[in-house]
Amino acid sequence: AAELARTAARSAGDLLAPPAPTRLGDVVPAPERVQPDPAADFTLTADAAIRVSPAGRDVAEQLAEWLRPATGFPLPVTDAPDADGVLVLTLSEAPLAAGPFDAARPAGTAGPVDAARPLDAARPAEPTAGEGGVGVDGLGAEGYRLDVTAAGVRVTAAAPAGLFHGAQTLRQLLPAAIERAAPVTERWAVPGGSIVDRPRFPYRGAMLDVARHFFPVEDVLRVVDHLARYKLNHLHLHLTDDQGWRIAVDSWPRLAGVGGITEVGGGPGGFYTQADYRRIVSYAARRHVTVVPEIDLPGHTNAALVAYPDLAPGKVPPPPYTGTEVGFSYVDPADERTYAFVADVVGEVAALTPGPWLHLGGDEAFKVPADTYRAFIERAQTLVAATGKTVVGWHQLAPAGHVDGRVLQWWGTNGDDPETADAVRRGARLILSPGNRVYLDMKYAVDTPIGHDWAGLIDVQRAYDWDPGTHLTGVPAEAVLGVEAPLWTESVTTLAEVEFMLFPRLPAVAELGWSPRSTHDWAGFRQRLAAHGPRWTAAGITFHPSPDVPWP
């Protein structure tokens, strides 16, 4: 009787309350499967608690940190995920109980979905475990399931990363005012229904060039937050270039001490101490973002040569460089000390980096003859492999011999690239960063105040409308590890300018990396993206009000 009374009261409430302002499918990146239930909207109230399994505690704490400022609610985090609660985060290797997805259909068949986001027929929901359940283990470490009913919200995943992505989805389903830093009066409604979601590609990233202009730790942490919102899971830091060396290396202290004090335009530069770098790495790790450090070799090394002229060809100390030309510098490939330098640097950087990757650069070494370049890269790859890390490099590495697991980051503008396709046949995997699609330093339009245009103008539709799975001729989708959007900073000097170049293009790239191809739809994406404008405004994030997007 009590249950009946509660249900009746709830229905009466539903009749009175307006629907949640956000629709369940209004998430960026688009979830794999969405099944709205408009009768099951949930409203977060001051008495809510977050219940979580012990291993998910840190995700629950972060969710509370996101929701407390605007709601002003205490949102205590407590154990006991099995008890009834309002916001429940559950880590489970076991099959999930049947939920709204499964009730209407036999196990293993496609369920009804949001008409706007049809099920990807080629990629059915993962092995339904037993009678009508979805196995979270089938969602991988990053997948999650989110169920919203009038009584509460439950996020279920096999690992903390999945819980984290599910919590980010929940954050997006609340009204935009949730992004405010101080309490506001609002009905904190969440649209009812279920989402089952997991990434298309394992590697989804962005690169920040901290070498052309230096960005302090706090700025980098904020960029990590931006990545994590959109389920990007890698931050590539371009740590070294002609204009500055940004990471302290104990065995070669002048690299940062001398090479770190310059930047484009003559500003003071700067560098990360090893403690600073560790702080970035652990802040990112808490947000399920892996840092990929890049030491660019053999070119883009003027700052290192200023610090250690013995590494320069001819041992001639070059002057510090604060311009924006590329391709003139290189470490001396004929001197054995160069390889000791490479070994020491990659050794220290590897030791500071828990993630599996170490990026060797390799781009634009125009002054090094092709066979010398190849031999240098092969030695450098071996030195990286000896640290236990997997080699990543710009696609100029392609002609060099394969080394276990190596990954090429393709930044070309023409998808016919036989050299890269050949490296893939020899075992390389690819990160796609097509210059004319995802280079975030390109201008949006002719009148964009900062940025380049050598790869063209890139507004949001251009960043969104391509397919990483088919972009390169002769490269199968299985060889594609994922996508990354690089931000070079020759013309970018402040955090606000970084954000201006990231938003709204970064979410477009995030969707290419995360969402199944079947959800790809420019008309729908621009609508979903538009709803994020008020979120960015509420969060104090600078963005370009692109005419491609129907902002509210």
Question: Mind telling me the catalytic residues?
Answer: 364
Question: Closest distance between ligand TNX and the C-beta of residue 543, in Å?
Answer: 21
Cα 33 to chain centroid distance, Å, stands at 21
Residue 540's region, left for phi above 0, alpha for psi from -120 to 50, else beta, is: left
Going from the C-alpha of 282 to that of each of 279, 285, 287, 290, 371, the distances in angstroms are: 5, 5, 9, 9, 40
Going from the C-alpha of 197 to that of each of 45, 134, 160, 164, 514, the distances in angstroms are: 26, 11, 14, 12, 9
Residue 460 CB neighbours (<10 A): 22
Indicate whether 61 belongs to the interface with ligand TNX (CB under 6 A): no
Between 252 and 394, whose beta carbon lies closer to ligand TNX?
Answer: 394
Between 137 and 363, whose beta carbon lies closer to ligand TNX?
Answer: 363
Between 318 and 327, whose beta carbon lies closer to ligand TNX?
Answer: 327
Between 193 and 412, whose beta carbon lies closer to ligand TNX?
Answer: 412
DSSP letter for each residue of 382-435: HHHHHTTPEEEEEGGGTTSPP-TT-EEEE--SSS--HHHHHHHHTT-EEEE--H
Binding mask 438-477 for ligand TNX (x = CB under 6 A): -x-x----------x-------------------------
Q: Which of 97, 141, 326, 375 binds ligand TNX (CB under 6 A)?
A: 326
Structure-block tokens of residue 211:
């070498």
Indicate whether 488 belongs to the interface with ligand TNX (CB under 6 A): yes
Question: Closest distance between ligand TNX and the C-beta of residue 212, in Å?
Answer: 7
Helix-, strand-, coil-residue percentages of the chain, each rounded to 5: 35, 20, 45
Q: Roughly how many angstroms between the first and final C-alpha of the chain, as a whole number?
A: 45
Between 366 and 522, whose beta carbon lies closer to ligand TNX?
Answer: 366
Q: How far apart are alpha carbons 336 and 379 in whole angstroms?
A: 11
Beta-carbon-side half-sphere exposure of residue 20 (alpha carbons within 13 Å): 30
Question: Closest distance between ligand TNX and the C-beta of residue 44, in Å?
Answer: 44
Question: Closest distance between ligand TNX and the C-beta of residue 241, in Å?
Answer: 7
Asked if 306 and 332 touch (Cβ cutoff 8 Å), the reply is no
Asked if 208 and 506 touch (Cβ cutoff 8 Å), the reply is no
Between 121 and 446, whose beta carbon lies closer to ligand TNX?
Answer: 446
Amino acid at 243: Q
Asked if 159 and 15 touch (Cβ cutoff 8 Å), the reply is no
Question: Closest distance between ligand TNX and the C-beta of residue 114, in Å?
Answer: 38
Between 341 and 411, whose beta carbon lies closer to ligand TNX?
Answer: 411
Asked if 442 and 391 touch (Cβ cutoff 8 Å), the reply is no
Total residues contacting ligand TNX by CB under 6 A comes to 10
Indicate whether 363 belongs to the interface with ligand TNX (CB under 6 A): yes
Cα 456 to chain centroid distance, Å, stands at 23
Question: Closest distance between ligand TNX and the C-beta of residue 40, in Å?
Answer: 48
Q: Which of 394, 410, 464, 503 binds ligand TNX (CB under 6 A)?
A: 394
Question: Closest distance between ligand TNX and the C-beta of residue 439, in Å?
Answer: 6
Which residues of this chain interact with ligand TNX, rule CB under 6 A?
326, 363-364, 394, 411, 439, 441, 452, 488, 490
